Amino acid sequence: MPPRHGAANIPAANRHHPSAWCDSFGDVPANPLPAWWKKNSRTAIIAIVVIAVLYTFAHGSGAAKTTEKEIPDSYASKGRVLLIHAKKKSKSPVPLVLVLSDDNTRTKVFENDSGVSRLADRRHFALAYPEPVASQWQVDANGPDAQYLKDVIDYLSKDWTKVDASRVYIWGLGEGARLALALVCANPNQFAAVGVVGQFDPDPGPNCDTQVPTDRERVATLDKDTSARLWSFSSSKVR
């Protein structure tokens, strides 16, 4: 019978000597990780960096959370509700965008469908979704909804974050677009640009694009693609 390999073939006196085990079992392979890392470290580091960049792009860096708030008692529109998507007390002034839904639209659903919050995280602007009473906007430049929108701007600027007053924009869909136009044209010194979204016939007025740059998006919905175009148009405008 051929000799068996293993402890039985190692003399008792030598069984505690490491070389005896190596001779019995053959060469024990070295840890392969250092050799692999030496050969592939550059590729691995590049892969890690790419993954980190893609994750940051997709999720934002320190993304803001959407919060429901009421206008404080010190404002004319006290008690009115809005959604805010902006970091508290930003270190430097940021642009502010107000986005108005159409009538009969749940504001939280509109926020999700529009994709503007995700855009704000990537482009670093403060964002507010004002909410109409009973889901109906009152399109009147001197009415309570117009005052409410002014209060939203003041509230975010004074109580929430540092707003760049030269870069305040307002976008609206449907009836929200009509109110946005009415407010902007009555207060052209307060807004740097306005976005009007909707399939209107004819286009709604008033028209004050010689005073406030106006982007008219003739589409039925305010989705992420429309939001991207509105930001591309608005972001370079300064009052």
CATH code for the domain of 203: 3.40.50.1820
User: pTM (2 decimals)?
Assistant: 0.75
Q: Do 94 and 52 share a structural domain?
A: no
Q: Is the peptide bond before 188 cis (omega within 30 degrees of 0)?
A: no
Q: Do 116 and 194 share a structural domain?
A: yes
Write down the number of H helices and E strands in the chain. Answer: 7, 7
In a domain, 11, yes or no: no
Q: What is the pLDDT of residues 97-154, one digit of tens each?
A: 999 999 999 999 999 999 999 999 999 999 999 999 999 999 999 999 999 999 999 9
Q: Do 110 and 43 share a structural domain?
A: no
Structure confidence at residue 48 (pLDDT): 76
Q: Do 149 and 48 share a structural domain?
A: no
Q: Do 70 and 104 share a structural domain?
A: yes
Q: Do 160 and 134 share a structural domain?
A: yes
In a domain, 12, yes or no: no
Q: Do 156 and 228 share a structural domain?
A: yes
Residue 193: its H or E element? strand 193-197
Q: Do 165 and 80 share a structural domain?
A: yes
Strand order in the sheet with 214-217: 66-70, 81-85, 126-130, 94-100, 163-173, 193-197, 214-217
Tally of structural domains, the chain: 2
In a domain, 5, yes or no: no
Residue-number span of the structural domain to which 23 is assigned? 19-59
Q: Do 120 and 162 share a structural domain?
A: yes
Residue 218: pLDDT over 60? yes
